[in-house]
A and B are shown apart, each in its own frame.
Chain A
């Protein structure tokens, strides 16, 4: 399975986005190779995990943004029972230079990716850290990030539809 196909196809059974500012539990985004067993996020972040089906597989997507500074991350992983195979991290950080939207990913078939790791071996940063980033605006409207905008960002990146009301919880 190729990531580009997972992103391109229509998504089925997209779950509700429930937002939280507590530390995630293992069940929210399990990662077996991480010491605490789940994706590391702290209370300075608002986050939500939505799940969907595509290409005959089940995926979970962590969407998280810092509540005080322009820093955003999304992590798409394939659900592997009680573990997650991370396929791509999408990030934005105003404390990078040059700053802008970038990804850490592997373009090969997902069968070669190890489960349970935040940064599976062989991932590449696209674009490279020192090169120009085409999209440097944090939000298109210039507003601060919030749950609705964050969900919209995720929907555009990963090509899924959602009801706007799903962002309000």
Chain B
């Protein structure tokens, strides 16, 4: 078998085409990062004019949006439209469907590859957007904390607040010399960090029985669900908002360590 044949075989080994009345379901070798299921799409037709439509399950965008990567952002929408246009795809905002319409039978193979590439690009784009946005927030906070000129203050990232309990690791642990109540700081972009913070609070209170301040810094006032914010604010030491009031947020954190208000840059 030639190298080209081996490559072709590898590319096609896990591609399956399943016929149904009115079209075909195509299973690709790639897995959806959100569900773990294979990424698939559909070819329906022939429609009037002997044309076919290649389409998703009308949930690709809905699933991304449910993960927080909504198309409300102008930049994200522009990126989305750009990826669509590269592959000749369209998005119907009303039905939620992504498709390449009006495909001639002779073009099906090429367009099917384009559609698979389109779905993969959209998945990557969404993940990168979420990750990039998370990093900007984390980087901004890290730089601000590193720039604080407070005597005896130490800021350490990625370590457990109690050495013998590594179950939940906050984003930062702040300690002030001569003050024996450390502070565990969680940076939240979703409900998960609020859960982690509440879990650490309960563990410290009932199992470890050592004093600690648990603070969650929300990226914005609308981060996470209202229900979770309510739950957290009733349980942890403080819930603060970052965007738009960064200095006050840092001072609120420092106040937990009994540090006087500080000029934050």
Contact = CB atoms under 8 A, between A and B. Distances in A.
B96 interface: yes
B95 A99 contact: no
Interface size class of B (residues with CB under 8 A): 35 or more
B36 interface: yes
**Main secondary structure on B side of the interface with A:** mixed
B190 A96 contact: no
Given A95-B18, A95-B41, A118 B66 contact: yes
Nearest to A83: B227
**Main secondary structure on A side of the interface with B:** loop
A85 B190 CA distance: 18
24 contacts: A35-B66, A40-B65, A41-B62, A43-B58, A43-B96, A44-B96, A69-B20, A70-B25, A93-B57, A94-B18, A94-B20, A94-B25, A94-B40, A95-B26, A95-B27, A96-B38, A96-B40, A99-B25, A104-B35, A114-B195, A118-B66, A119-B34, A129-B38, A144-B21
Given A42-B59, A68-B55, 17 more contacts: A32-B228, A35-B70, A36-B70, A40-B62, A41-B59, A42-B96, A42-B97, A44-B57, A69-B44, A91-B37, A95-B26, A95-B41, A96-B38, A97-B38, A114-B195, A118-B66, A144-B21
Interface of B: 14, 16, 18, 20-23, 25-27, 31, 34-38, 40-42, 44, 55, 57-59, 62-63, 65-68, 70, 94-97, 190-192, 195, 225, 227-228
